[in-house]
Amino acid sequence: CMYIIGELCKRLGLYEESTQWLSRLIMSYSDPQQKEIKSQLNTISAKVENQDLQITVLKGSKKAAN
């Protein structure tokens, strides 16, 4: 996400903002504590996406049953 924002800023000619976003990206990857937090967030995100998928499937099966 930070990379995309940085790249968009660069393409829009907002070089200072682009540099700030890309610097944040580099710093977050070099900080071990941030890596652990990102790993936990990815796990939580995957669980939420799985739950959303299950809910969608259940809603679809209820509509098919009606």
pLDDT band at 57, cuts 50/70/90? Answer: low
Helix (H, G, I), strand (E, B) or coil at 14: coil
The residue ranges of every structural domain in the chain are 1-30, 32-66
pLDDT band at 23, cuts 50/70/90? Answer: confident
Asked whether the beta carbons of 60 and 54 are under 8 A apart, the reply is no
Residue in 9, 53, 46, 3 with CA at minimum distance from that of residue 28: 3
The mean pLDDT of the chain is 74
Residue 12, exposed/middle/buried by CB under 10 A (0-12, 13-18, 19+)? exposed
Claim: this prediction has a pTM higher than 0.75? no
Tell me the pLDDT tens digit for each residue of 26-54: 877 766 766 676 676 677 777 767 776 66
User: What CA–CA distance (Å, rounded) separates 46 from 49?
Assistant: 5
